[in-house]
Structure 1
Amino acid sequence: MKSISLNRFFFFLVFSIPFCISAQKHTERELILIDKDWRFSFGHLYDTQKDFNHATGYFSYLAKTGYGDGPAAPAFDDRAWRKLDLPHDWAVEQSFSEKASFSHGFKTAGKNFPEKSIGWYRKKINIQETDKGRIISLKFDGVFRNSKVFFNGHYLGTEESGYNGFEYDITAYVNYGGENTIVVRVDASMEEGWFYEGAGIYRHVYLKKTNPIHVAENGTYVTTEIKENNAEVTADVTIENKGSYKGMIEVVQTILEASGKQIATISENTTTPDFYKTIHYTSKLQVNDPLLWDIENPNLYRLVTEIKQDGKIIDHYETTFGIRTIKFDAEKGFFLNGKSVKLKGTNNHQDHAGIGTALPDELQYFRIKKLKGIGSNAYRCSHHPPTPELLKACDELGMLVIDETRLMGINDYHLNNLKRMIERDRNHPSIFCWSVGNEEWKIEGGIVGERITNVMQGFTKSIDTTRPVTVGISSGFKSGISSVVEIMGYNYLGNGDIDAHRNEFKQQPGMGTEEGSTFATRGIYFTDDAKHYQSAYDKKPRPTFYSIEEGWKFYATRPYLAGLFIWTGFDYRGEPTPYGWPSVTSYFGMMDVCGFPKDNVFYLKSWWGNEPVLHIMPHWNWSGMEGKEIDVWAYSNCDEVELFLNKKSLGKKKMEQYGHLEWKVKYTPGTLEAIGYKNGKKVLSEIQKTTENPENIKLSVDKGNRTNSNVVVVTVETTDKKGAHVPTANHEITFSLKGGKILGVGNGNPTSLEKDQFIDNIELLPITDFEEKKLASADSNQKVTDSEDNWQEAFKDRDYKNQAPAYVYRGKFDLKSNLKTNTVTFFYKKIGANAVISVNGNKIAPSTEDDQKYAFNTSVLKQGTNAIQIIAQPLQKLKEWDVMNTDPGIIQVITPSEPWKRKLFNGYAQIIIQKEDNTNEVVLSAAAKGLNAGSLTLKK
């Protein structure tokens, strides 16, 4: 083994998202969120016609610049498409099917569903005439996956990865002072991972404007070295010039405290880089008596980088960072700011109940706060780069992070993805380790894995010298990757002899990058394979996997191991191990997909936190089991726990460190009470009480929400007449909301096949069998009957130099249903002037706001085949090469969704709501058969 001593300090500082204050006149940089008001429609994986005939044009988008066709063409009519805001995950909106992907939670999206594997997004934006001379870019934080982006018909590029952020310069293509069209085609037919990944533009999109001379994208790198009571800050800045200016510029670097107080500044002149070149500029600044970033006090600073030209500020770029030291020691574990810290981590994917992967920023904070609440201090991004907002939440809340790339390899695709991740994320103080791979079974134990790891590890160090590198390994800890990786990542202690590996490689620090992998269903205390229920008692799940308690005891009692990362913090879609259909989510989480705690949470709180903890399980509603023994467990960090049933003591027991306590109790309705003692004194009590029947619906704001958050997570439950929570209730609750919108619903049930989202169904119907006939008069109001002869295929062999005064067109469209609640609209695409539209012989007037939009009343429609007629004067070609529109338009049928609803699961459900921007009050109402309705009012 190439031993590596890490008894040195890794110094470092960190970046959140660089952002700008566009309202200030002194800066030319703007970063404008453009998530609002996109149009969306499904295309098709292989049926070109259903993919709006994209890439069928004579030149198309690759043959000649600017010839994006189909939806990629600026003039494409998308009025009938669905209107939505980003982030958006179309997979979560779909139904479930046994034929769908096991790993992606059986959602009907992806390659097996070609009609739901391609998504088109379009948005119109205006860019001012005054922006001429600036560099204009589109910035995407992540699109799943294989996205093609077009701007004003110009193909900008393809990003295969579903996790990388990317940016395109659109300066040359902009229609200044007018309308511009952004188009994104997303192909989610291929899976990157073996877990739910969503589909679509599920992260933010920005319009960026800068001076031609500016700080490059992710162009700052801040490191620190602590000397006695001071910190020397090294601020490396990459400056890019996309203009013709040659001369001197001034670079001003300023450090601000969180309050905004300036504490250090430095200025120096430097030569502007040449056209389309960059320079690296480095400043040294000193912070006296710095406030260190750590888990309890996540103190942050801001580096403000200003570029001045002739005394005027032309760029203003802000970088959030923290000052702290990290160290891995092969004998003593991990140190943060010189203090020993045991890593108490969890692995997590990026989806949440009802939302999928399109998480609002506030939900990132919600989830990190939930993990902090169980005593966790570390988060592993499994197994891909996260959203910038997650890292920002970890910086601000004090959560250590392992940041992980998606694929191992040594070629440009792999190393470029790794580079982009590191350069984007290396200023975050929360990140203490880079991971370049996970469970690569094909290569883990051999020379290929060793070679790849050496390259990726060295490549990582060339970009960031301040952090070590790890790989999660699960196929044995003997050779290959394990012998060369800087920090050994043990995935499951049952997969090899960790102590033996450590004894052979004593200079190699290690940590449990995955451990636990237990099965549990929240609120279930008897395993029932027929129902796909796994008991919540912490038991060894499989011979080579260990319980949460066994895993923590192993790592907690070995100083040389830095800590562990439990698989997982939250349940997630996909991998419904140990079952399959109809289970659609995992069973591994310490919390379910909503963030409701399973009982293992209280074991971890007992030994991960500093506050006294006492929790007893199960609940005490066991009608029909009177006289039968129930296993009662206590999780606590008290010295002793005494259990009482209806005030009768069942014995006091001493708590073993990192353990739990058990009693066998014959069920009798009433009150089960536990009392915890420290130093012989009562410090805590916990009660499980037999409740009465549920009577009321209770709605409450979850404690994980941030104050004044625009997105609110609401807990739904039922109570009995005394106000006690009923843990066995499974009522279906129906919701309504005023002053906002519902984003999603969930309940944590791994077998629930209920909808996550209730959205109106939009069906687009083509006009078929489209025929035409010449008319002798230009009168568009003349009456023509379908029985007459001489009809022919519309526009076929049309002589545009010798057209009739008018034409009558006829076609058909089929309605699967003709519900009175449906909204049926014809979006006419102009095929002639002064058009008159009739349906089933009834003349239809155009809309008042759009004279090419026609609302069809259901009274003139019928289920099945409907006839449409258009009489119009022909359009004339102005130039011989003009391409004339031959598409009469599209019929849009909107079927309103049913009301939002969700069944409770073992007493709980969750609803996520978003407040409207211009409302002072949001009212959520909930109703269910046989229960008193509930209501929750939220003030702005």
Structure 2
Amino acid sequence: MIKKLYFRAIICLSILPLAVSGQTQNRRTHVNFDAGWKFSLGNASDPKRDFNYGIGNIFSKSGETAGTCIATDFKDSTWTNVKLPHDWVVALPFQYVKNDDIDSHGYKPVGALFPENSIGWYRKTFTVNKADSGKRYEIQFDGVYRDSKVWLNGYYIGGHFSGYNSFSFDITDFIKFGQKNVMVVRADATQSEGWFYEGAGIYRHAWLNSYNNVHFKTAGGLFAHAEVSDGKAQVTIEADIENRGITATEATLYSYITDRNGKIIATGKQLPFTEAIRENKKLTDEMTIINPRLWSLDDAYLYRAVSLIKSGGHTIDSVNVKFGVRTFKFDSEKGFFLNGKPLKVQGVSCHQDHAGVGSALPDELQYYRITLLKEMGVNAYRTTHNPPTPELLDACDSLGMLVMDETRLLTSGQEYEQQYRDLILRDRNHASIFMWSIGNEEYATHRTDIGKRIAQNQILLQQQLDPTRTSTYAANMGNVYRGVNEVIPVRGFNYNLSGIDGYHKEHPLQPIIGTEVASTVTTRSIYVKDTVHAYVPDYDVTFPPWASTAETWWKITDARPWFMGGFAWTGFDYRGEPTPYRWPNINSHFGIMDMCGFPKSVYYYYQSWWTDKDILHIAPHWNWKGKEGQPIEVWVNTNADDVELYLNGKSLGKKEMTRDGHLVWTVTYQPGKLVAVAHKKGKVIAAKVETTTAAYRIVLSPSKKILLANGEDAVVVNATVVDKSGREVPDALDLLHFDIKGDAEIIGVGNGDPSSHEPDKCSTGQWQRSLFGGKAQLIVRAGTHEGNVAIVATGTGLKSIELPLVQKLK
């Protein structure tokens, strides 16, 4: 029997190094290592074309790498200059091969069948000052896809097989101080990990860390949790301190908490300790926040905690962390509670790629995507089916989005148990995470006794490393209490919602959540089935046999207080796993938004019932030349009380709106104006679609107009066209050309067309993309100099536009 679960009073922190202000022996640094890399494809089947890897005996003697690209004197002048994050697969052409794996990965020619595209080599040269030779140095990669190996100055440092977990290596012993250092990384993507687009390369950030020999560990070095009661948050801080010096050390740990403005609001004790050589010392301190400001979806307030290690009268290491205070509870009869208030989980599952950039997203795109989801009414994000990039969690922390953090596989072998350990240690301090997921749909395992034992191991590991949260498993089976489900604290349902009532009745003490639901397939702006182009209608009507419409699952969820809510599949379209078609379709149709983040019609269904906004949306558009006199099905999504529809001023009838539903009219098409007039609590709301004339000029809409000149910032620019009356043309397919003036660069283009084979990367420098459903998108990365930037868009027969942007250093 599973006990009724209550999880309360949780604090989460994310370790952020103090800003660097000069190199000293006592200053921790966390330096971005993204710039200055050289890249070349290798070859998985021909060692000669793989720079002699496999025939040069590089593992027989330490540091002997002559004749390979690992050698420090290798000439890499012909290699391509790249800046991280870098995904080499997104730039490959689409290629049809009758193979399930290639199909599921979006018809990109990567993997064992394409040895010439499946090995990537990276080289980077850097220097470290002689004055800093007493510190320890660490290389940190937030994600390399996949099976990576790292060398420094010809010495093998280590390998990491996962394409999703962060990892780091101590490189102190191999650095040449005051001289040129050469780091080499080999990524082997011949073997995939998932059945969706995964990309390849160093597709997340890299960092060069330095710190004292006595220091907070990078992974899990600081963890905080709390009990909240009577207007107080009792904070417990756990520090994991490592001594890598050559002598024992006497030191003191001291911590304090500030508000977001830096004012100290709580102080800890001076905790003296002695640490032997190679010892890890774990210390605990407590302090109290009076009347804490609770982190919530609408007020994502983050405090800061500062912990310092002092020795000999000096601070020898310190970390500055952001954290949020909040409580949550899982109740098997009443559902989920955040800060003591009931909250239905209105979630989405998402993969990590985006149009134009593949898996190598600039940080700004993480914030852009989470903002789009919040505008829709989403309050929870499931990281399917792998550990996310840390910047996604930062965005959720600061914008107010709950996260279900999911590991890649349900297994407890040594390597994969370590992967799950690393995930928890890295992410457990994020305010946004409310639950862990130990895996997804492991059909060969999850109903068995082996699955039960694996799950029990992973659950106990999670409870050891993070007792403040609970865990679930995404189980694609109905009313089945066997294997994993016997031990998992929160039962997760992937689809099979017809079984939740029976399961709840039979297991009333086990909370239930929909870990994956819906899977409606739609193509933005297409309203008829088109098997030639592999499109499906942009109505909430088409779904695979295992799934349901959005409306079906949400009505089930909204009617059951004990059902905590769920995660719709998916928030955005993603490359790969084309459904219900295959080639020429190269990405999924599951998204509530397309790969660019442009909303589909179902977006407005969710927005109607997941927000308090005044929503009134009409589908389809009203450009149907050649269909005069034919019936058009018109859907209206709204949270109003009633809606009356008018065509060219003539009423087509008034209909009452029922909760969690939508309205439909069958309208005989004639060009003109289709208007919906709704009443909501005595207020009148109106919306319209109307027939446009031909596209006349281009419109560019940026996500922001000021960029930081740091070489990392980015802006999303959406392109549309309007007619001479200024009306957006919703069915335009014009080919647009893009150029940029100033110190910035276009790094990707897209349009959301799930069957488009146009390149996301334009290698010739001539950037272009066709509109799809009247829309396209380009992503621009900032340079490093202050000044004006301009994006120019042109198209045949269209009035061009020049969009001004500004780059600033601060």
Q: Give TM-score, length-normalised by structure 1.
A: 0.83
Query: 2:747 is aligned with what amino acid?
Result: L
Structure 1 unmatched ranges of 5 or more: 760-896
- The separation in 2 between residues aligned to 1:484 and 1:283, in whole angstroms, is 33
- Matched ranges for 1:503-522 at <5 A: 503-522=505-524
**Paired residue secondary structure (1:18):** strand
- The separation in 1 between residues aligned to 2:471 and 2:546, in whole angstroms, is 26
- The separation in 2 between residues aligned to 1:542 and 1:433, in whole angstroms, is 28
Conservation of the 8 A alpha-carbon contact between 2:706 and 2:805? no
Conservation of the 8 A alpha-carbon contact between 2:522 and 2:542? no
Query: 2:790 is aligned with what amino acid?
Result: V
Tell me which residue corresponds to 2:189.
Answer: 188
**Paired residue secondary structure (1:728):** coil
- The separation in 2 between residues aligned to 1:504 and 1:47, in whole angstroms, is 58
Tell me which residue corresponds to 1:283.
Answer: 285
- Is it true that 1:737 corresponds to 2:733 in the alignment? no
Query: 1:497 is aligned with what amino acid?
Result: G
- Matched ranges for 1:446-457 at <5 A: 446-457=448-459
- Is it true that 1:43 corresponds to 2:45 in the alignment? no
Specify which of 215, 230, 233 is matched with residue 232 of structure 2.
230
Tell me which residue corresponds to 1:133.
Answer: 134
Conservation of the 8 A alpha-carbon contact between 1:344 and 1:376? yes
Conservation of the 8 A alpha-carbon contact between 1:711 and 1:914? yes
- Matched ranges for 1:133-172 at <5 A: 133-172=134-173
- Matched ranges for 1:323-338 at <5 A: 323-338=325-340
- The separation in 1 between residues aligned to 2:708 and 2:597, in whole angstroms, is 18
* Cα distance, 1:247–1:751 mapped onto 2, change above 3 Å: closer
Report % sequence identity: 43
Conservation of the 8 A alpha-carbon contact between 2:730 and 2:773? yes
Deviation >6 Å, runs of 4+: 703-709
* Cα distance, 1:309–1:726 mapped onto 2, change above 3 Å: same
- The separation in 1 between residues aligned to 2:110 and 2:249, in whole angstroms, is 55
Per the TM alignment, residue 37 of structure 1 is displaced from its structure 2 partner at its CA by 1.1
Conservation of the 8 A alpha-carbon contact between 2:707 and 2:713? no
Conservation of the 8 A alpha-carbon contact between 1:366 and 1:705? no
Tell me which residue corresponds to 1:598.
Answer: 600
Per the TM alignment, residue 244 of structure 1 is displaced from its structure 2 partner at its CA by 2.5
Tell me which residue corresponds to 2:713.
Answer: 710
Per the TM alignment, residue 476 of structure 1 is displaced from its structure 2 partner at its CA by 3.1
Specify which of 351, 362, 369 is matched with residue 353 of structure 2.
351
- The separation in 1 between residues aligned to 2:243 and 2:483, in whole angstroms, is 44
- Matched ranges for 1:79-98 at <5 A: 79-98=77-96
Per the TM alignment, residue 288 of structure 1 is displaced from its structure 2 partner at its CA by 0.6
Query: 2:773 is aligned with what amino acid?
Result: N
- Matched ranges for 1:888-899 at <5 A: 897=764, 899=766
- Matched ranges for 1:615-764 at <5 A: 615-682=617-684, 684-702=685-703, 710-739=713-742, 740-759=744-763
**Paired residue secondary structure (1:601):** helix
Q: Deviations over 1:41-100 (max 9, x none)?
A: 01110211101112433xx33222112341111111111111111110000010000127
Query: 1:915 is aligned with what amino acid?
Result: A
Tell me which residue corresponds to 2:58.
Answer: 61
Q: Deviations over 1:212-249 (max 9, x none)?
A: 00101131111011021010100000010000333421
CA RMSD of aligned residues (A): 1.5
**Paired residue secondary structure (2:574):** coil
Per the TM alignment, residue 261 of structure 1 is displaced from its structure 2 partner at its CA by 1.2
**Paired residue secondary structure (2:177):** coil
- The separation in 1 between residues aligned to 2:358 and 2:23, in whole angstroms, is 39
- Matched ranges for 1:522-921 at <5 A: 522-682=524-684, 684-702=685-703, 710-739=713-742, 740-759=744-763, 897=764, 899-921=766-788
Tell me which residue corresponds to 1:864.
Answer: none
Conservation of the 8 A alpha-carbon contact between 1:445 and 1:476? no
Per the TM alignment, residue 919 of structure 1 is displaced from its structure 2 partner at its CA by 3.6
Conservation of the 8 A alpha-carbon contact between 1:68 and 1:155? no
Per the TM alignment, residue 20 of structure 1 is displaced from its structure 2 partner at its CA by 2.2
Query: 2:42 is aligned with what amino acid?
Result: G
- The separation in 2 between residues aligned to 1:17 and 1:669, in whole angstroms, is 59
Q: Deviations over 1:393-421 (max 9, x none)?
A: 00000000000011111221121100000
**Paired residue secondary structure (1:49):** helix
Structure 1 or 2, whichever has the larger Rg, is: 1
**Which is worse superposed, 244-253 or 404-413?**
244-253
Conservation of the 8 A alpha-carbon contact between 2:707 and 2:714? no
Per the TM alignment, residue 542 of structure 1 is displaced from its structure 2 partner at its CA by 3.5
Tell me which residue corresponds to 2:486.
Answer: 483
Per the TM alignment, residue 642 of structure 1 is displaced from its structure 2 partner at its CA by 1.1
- The separation in 2 between residues aligned to 1:704 and 1:514, in whole angstroms, is 37
Conservation of the 8 A alpha-carbon contact between 1:252 and 1:267? yes
- The separation in 1 between residues aligned to 2:226 and 2:585, in whole angstroms, is 49
- The separation in 1 between residues aligned to 2:544 and 2:308, in whole angstroms, is 57
Tell me which residue corresponds to 1:72.
Answer: 70
Q: Deviations over 1:623-664 (max 9, x none)?
A: 111111111111010111111111111111110000011111
* Cα distance, 1:25–1:160 mapped onto 2, change above 3 Å: closer
**Which is worse superposed, 294-303 or 20-29?**
20-29
- The separation in 2 between residues aligned to 1:321 and 1:727, in whole angstroms, is 44
Q: Deviations over 1:642-696 (max 9, x none)?
A: 11111111111110000011111111111101111023441x1101011011111
- The separation in 2 between residues aligned to 1:271 and 1:926, in whole angstroms, is 63
- The separation in 2 between residues aligned to 1:459 and 1:80, in whole angstroms, is 47
Conservation of the 8 A alpha-carbon contact between 2:536 and 2:542? no
**Paired residue secondary structure (2:377):** coil
Conservation of the 8 A alpha-carbon contact between 1:89 and 1:199? yes
Per the TM alignment, residue 279 of structure 1 is displaced from its structure 2 partner at its CA by 0.4
- The separation in 1 between residues aligned to 2:454 and 2:315, in whole angstroms, is 45
- The separation in 2 between residues aligned to 1:554 and 1:215, in whole angstroms, is 48
Per the TM alignment, residue 17 of structure 1 is displaced from its structure 2 partner at its CA by 4.2
Tell me which residue corresponds to 1:177.
Answer: 178
Per the TM alignment, residue 702 of structure 1 is displaced from its structure 2 partner at its CA by 3.5
Q: Deviations over 1:319-376 (max 9, x none)?
A: 2211011110000110001000000000000000000000001110011101101000
Per the TM alignment, residue 704 of structure 1 is displaced from its structure 2 partner at its CA by 12
Query: 2:331 is aligned with what amino acid?
Result: D
Query: 1:246 is aligned with what amino acid?
Result: A
* Cα distance, 1:455–1:530 mapped onto 2, change above 3 Å: same
Q: Deviations over 1:480-526 (max 9, x none)?
A: 222321111100135x5111111111000011111110110000111
Per the TM alignment, residue 938 of structure 1 is displaced from its structure 2 partner at its CA by 0.7
**Which is worse superposed, 17-26 or 336-345?**
17-26
Q: Deviations over 1:825-860 (max 9, x none)?
A: xxxxxxxxxxxxxxxxxxxxxxxxxxxxxxxxxxxx
- Matched ranges for 1:392-407 at <5 A: 392-407=394-409
Conservation of the 8 A alpha-carbon contact between 1:399 and 1:430? yes
Per the TM alignment, residue 915 of structure 1 is displaced from its structure 2 partner at its CA by 2.2
- The separation in 2 between residues aligned to 1:25 and 1:78, in whole angstroms, is 30
Structure 2 unmatched ranges of 5 or more: none
Count of equivalent residues:
797
Query: 1:94 is aligned with what amino acid?
Result: L
Conservation of the 8 A alpha-carbon contact between 1:290 and 1:323? yes
